[in-house]
Amino acid sequence: MRIVNEKGKKLRINGSLKSVVIMTFIILLIMIALPIIFLKESRNTSNMSSSGFKLNDENIVKSSGLFFPEGGKVKLYRREKNTVEELDLEEYIKGVVASEMPANFDEEALKAQAVAARTYYMNKRINPCKDAESKGAEICDSTNCQVYMDKEERISKWSQKDSESNWNKIDEAVESTKGQVLTYDGTVLEYPQFFAVSSGKTEDAVDVFSMSVPYLKSTDSKGEEIAPKYQTTFSMPLDDFINKIKSNYKDANLSKSNLKNSIEIESYTEGGSVKEIKVGDKIISGIDFRKILNLNSANFTISFKNNDIVFLCKGYGHGVGMSQWGANAMAKSGSKYEDILKHYYSGVDIEEIKYK
């Protein structure tokens, strides 16, 4: 081997020095490669989180990038009290599950709700609620985020004979899913939507929020016919209906005399809701129409009775993501919470938070 010195003369390097250079290069390569190899093995073979709790379900993928500070707190804005509370993560999730889902639901449905609620919070750590952020918090306790009541508040609203067993049931559901969240392609779900009751099929996010989300697709949701709000009837005087429409669309060209012939459903979503409806001279989205009239859902039919317009609604809520009553029906039919979540959120994984 030859190199050139500063005067341009070629110098010869002896064989032993050449061997030293080669050996040094090999050692450097090994030092770089070993940490990468061990890192890959630890991601694939570890069955224990850094917090020390085990996951027994083989379908749960171990997270390599979801972190929560060891001893960290949820910063919760309590709207009515106008205060910020700091809570342990799992205690916060218990308060959400107790507030968002009936305690008499099957435990597997409660577990599914716990994972969805935890996922929602983990996203809010990255994208805080605006009102909460202005108060120095991450998330609020109202339907603007997800409803939360502490143990004492929730127990006071249950019957005395059921309160202790109800809380213990929720406590068990949350603890048995401790640290678990939903991810898609390794990222925490940005929109882990859930709602009360479907019409028998959930909605695609693109039809409700005008945004395509790969894991929020329309899917069947059976067994919800027993839900109190599965089917509801809402009547409104014709004059009130016309006034509500005209207050939002002044040039809708509606009157009592032409009303029956001036309303026509133009199209439906994949989930069966009204996508567009023609009212007078205006084409209105089913979502906006529902909001204007405060209907239980956008899945409705219209009829007329005397001087009233009558809406028969199926389902309750926006219809996107996990139906809570549908989750309970699946649980009662023997489905585990993992199956429930993967049914309502297409292509997701269940991962475990790492504590640091």
pLDDT at 84: 98
What pLDDT, on a 0 to 100 scale, did the predictor assign at position 35?
A: 39
pLDDT recorded at residue 287: 97
pLDDT of residue 19: 54
The pLDDT score that the predictor gives to residue 133 is 96
- Per-residue pLDDT at 175: 98
SS (H, E, C) the chain: CEEECCCCCEEECCHHHHHHHHHHHHHHHHHHHHHHHHHHHHHHHCCECCCCCECCCCCCECCCCCEECCCCCEEEEECCCCEEEEECHHHHHHHHHHHHCCCCCCHHHHHHHHHHHHHHHHHHHHCCCHHHHHCCCCEECCCCCCCCCCHHHHHHHCCHHHHHHHHHHHHHHHHCCCCEEEEECCEECCCCCEECECCCECECHHHHCCCCCCCCCCCECCCCCCCCCCEEEEEEEHHHHHHHHHHHCCCCCCCHHHCHHHEEEEEECCCCCEEEEEECCEEEEHHHHHHHHCCCCCCEEEEEECCEEEEEEECECCCECEEHHHHHHHHHCCCCHHHHHHHHCCCCEEEECEEC
pTM reported for the whole predicted model: 0.79
Q: Residue 312 to residues 140, 148, 234, 263, 264: CA-CA distances in angstroms?
A: 33, 31, 7, 15, 15
| Neighbour count for residue 289 (Cβ, 10 Å) | 20
Per-residue pLDDT of the chain in tens (356 residues, 90 and over written 9): 443 444 444 444 455 544 544 555 444 444 444 333 333 333 232 222 222 222 233 444 443 347 888 889 999 999 999 999 999 999 999 999 999 999 999 999 999 999 999 999 999 998 999 999 999 999 999 999 999 999 999 999 999 999 999 999 999 999 999 999 999 999 999 999 999 999 999 999 999 999 999 999 999 999 999 999 999 999 999 999 999 999 999 989 898 888 999 999 999 999 999 999 999 999 999 999 999 999 999 999 999 999 999 999 999 999 999 999 999 999 999 999 999 999 999 999 999 998 77
pLDDT number for residue 43: 29
Q: In whole angstroms, what is the distance from residue 297 CA to residue 189 CA?
A: 24
Report pLDDT for 258. 85
List of residues 6+ apart from 49 with CB closer than 8 A: 55, 62, 179, 352, 353, 354, 355
